[in-house]
């Protein structure tokens, strides 16, 4: 599918996402006044890259070519843009990694609570006197235990896939080669 949408680099065989910028500064978010190396990428550019990335299979590496229309080649600005690009995706990789860790911690906690409720049910079944209150309590513990266990299974089965997919997408951005093109005068 990506062969029809993006041009192919004849040397590497990789799809190339071409991005036209008027100037180097168009790469950066205009409201971010921090030092250039730490500045955010323009949100519309980041969204565009995400959309393009979805078109290219996750196992395939692609390239990004920034075509600077109204500026001369400046190696220091190119390096600054590459550093900012890498910092941007390193931050989001770190955030996604924290989400994955939080997911596993939540899954472990839900599993422990589930086992506690189910175990407590089995311990109390012989201790509590036969009464309607005891039956409701025991059933509540058993149902609660299974509900917590289902949530743990749900997180591991369904939620994990989305987090890992996004993390792999972001890691791919970190290894993406970046090149620059300029208007020939």
Domains of the chain, by residue range, sit at 2-91+177-182, 95-166
Find out whether 172 and 57 touch, Cβ atoms under 8 Å.
Answer: no
Question: Mind listing the pLDDT tens digit for each residue in 106-149?
Answer: 999 999 999 999 999 999 888 888 888 989 999 999 999 999 99
Q: Specify which residues 99 forms β-bridges with.
A: none
Compute CA distances 45 → 28, 85, 92, whole Å: 9, 11, 15
Question: Mind listing the pLDDT tens digit for each residue in 51-108?
Answer: 999 999 989 999 999 998 888 888 988 998 898 899 899 999 999 999 999 999 999 9
Cα(171)–Cα(168) distance, integer angstroms: 5
Tell how far CA 35 is from the center of its chain. Answer: 25
């Amino acid at each position: 599918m990506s062969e029809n949408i993006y041009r192919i680099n004849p040397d590497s065989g990789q799809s190339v996402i071409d991005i036209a910028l008027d100037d180097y500064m168009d790469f950066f978010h205009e409201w971010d006044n921090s030092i250039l190396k730490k500045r955010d990428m323009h949100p519309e550019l980041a969204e565009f890259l995400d959309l393009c990335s979805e078109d290219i299979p996750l196992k395939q590496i692609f390239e990004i070519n920034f075509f600077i229309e109204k500026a001369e080649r400046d190696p220091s600005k190119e390096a600054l843009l590459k550093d900012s690009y890498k910092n941007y995706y390193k931050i989001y990789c770190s955030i996604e990694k924290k989400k994955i860790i939080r997911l596993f911690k939540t899954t472990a906690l839900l599993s422990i609570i589930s086992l506690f409720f189910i175990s407590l049910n089995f311990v109390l079944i012989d201790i509590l006197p036969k009464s309607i209150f005891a039956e409701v309590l025991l059933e509540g513990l058993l149902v609660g235990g299974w509900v917590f266990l289902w949530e743990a299974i749900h997180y591991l089965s369904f939620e994990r896939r989305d987090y890992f997919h996004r993390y792999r997408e972001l890691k791919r951005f970190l290894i993406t080669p970046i090149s620059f093109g300029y208007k020939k005068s």
